[in-house]
Amino acid sequence: MTGDRTDVLPSIGDQHASTTVIPAVPAVPAIPAAPSGPPVPTTASLEAERVSAWFGQRKVLDRVSLEMPAGRVTALIGPSGCGKSTFLRILNRMHELVPSAALAGEVRLDGQDIYAPERRLTDARKAIGMVFQKPNPFPAMSIQDNVLAGLRLTGTKIGKGEREGLVEESLVRAGLWLEVKDRLKQPGSALSGGQQQRLCIARSLAVRPRVLLMDEPCSALDPTSTRVVEETIQQIAADVTIVIVTHNMQQAHRVSHQCAFFLAAHGTPGVIVEHGPTDTIFDNPQDQRTSDYVNGRFG
């Protein structure tokens, strides 16, 4: 792994990586039965190892390590500016879109570093989907085309019959099917905010990611839509690993299995103060700062 520009720190996971041979991306979607070869894993663990991040000269994350187990929902909580969104964007290589951004450390998808020089950037993003704070369906495309956009963008060809199946399956999983099944040809921008966000979830699910990152997915939504999206999260959690950034403590409590509390003390880069099962973080935190934050005493 020499020559990997992100490999500033000694890598630890090599022996692990060499034994786990899993295709970078599940050869997209032999719907439900893959006739040959081993069954394609639908979910994968994600592991951040001593991740640091900079914007220009300013360091915003300092050696953050976190394990996000397969098929679980991990919530990243913490006050604004603590680096949790930056951390999330590092997990699928969106961080490097910012011109001055830099990072160190490793992010391992089922044991393999997504920043390894031999891995393709687009493969990492295909395997690790992302849902953004503000719903961002492609406005010029119909609902159906929005769902299929990922396949088109990644050059994945599927048959016509399969396509309909995939659209339905993705929309069902995102909890939107019943509301839109009669108007799949209408533009995605005609939906309400909450529906748009679920359309974005369906769009992400259609490329069969193994991990889904969500960056405050409900902060632009009303409470009813928020509840529907949360139900969606709980339903898809079984087959997609989910990492969610949220400012809403109750939401973190409701949807996540484990929590990581980020904090950046004044003028210092963000770190994880505490992480563990959600119940422990909320009911019995070890650190005073965590307790103060989850009980609403600051932030």
Partner 1 sequence: MADVRPRKLSRRSTGADAVFEHGARAVGASVLVITGGVGVFLAWQAYPTLKRYGLSFFTESQWAPDQDVIGIAAVLTGTVSVALVAMTFAFPLSVLVALYISEYAPARIRSTLVSLVDLMAAVPSIVYGLWGFFLIMPYAAELALWLQRNFGWLPFFKVENTDPDAAVWDTSRYVASAFCAGIAVAMMVMPMACAVMRQVFSQTPQGEKEAALALGATRWGMVTSVVLPFGRGGVIGGTMLGLGRALGETIAVVLIVSPAFEIKPRILEVGTSTVSSLIAGRFGEASTSQLSALLAAGFVLFVITLIVNTLAAVVVNRSRSGAGTDA
Residues making contact with partner 1 (CB under 8 A): 92, 94, 97, 99, 122-123, 125-126, 129-130, 132, 134, 136-140, 149-150, 152-155, 200, 203-204, 207
Residue 150 CB, shortest distance to partner 1, in Å, is: 4
Residue 153 CB, shortest distance to partner 1, in Å, is: 4
- Beta bridge partner(s), residue 131: 214
| Nearest to partner 1 of 70, 149 (CB atom) | 149
Q: Residue 48 in contact with residue 91, Cβ under 8 Å?
A: yes
| Nearest to partner 1 of 126, 254 (CB atom) | 126
Q: Is the dihedral of CA 212, 216, 220, 226 positive or negative?
A: positive
| Nearest to partner 1 of 212, 271 (CB atom) | 212
Q: Which residue has the tokens 């909320």?
A: 282
Q: What is the total residue count of the chain? A: 299
Residue 144 CB, shortest distance to partner 1, in Å, is: 15
Strands of 46-55's sheet in order across: 58-68, 46-55, 101-109, 112-113
| Nearest to partner 1 of 60, 207 (CB atom) | 207
What CA–CA distance (Å, rounded) separates 99 from 92?
16
Residue 210 CB, shortest distance to partner 1, in Å, is: 12
Residue 146 CB, shortest distance to partner 1, in Å, is: 9
Q: Which amino acid belongs to residue 275?
A: H
* 193-206 vs 160-173: helix crossing angle, rounded to 10: 130
| Nearest to partner 1 of 9, 102 (CB atom) | 102
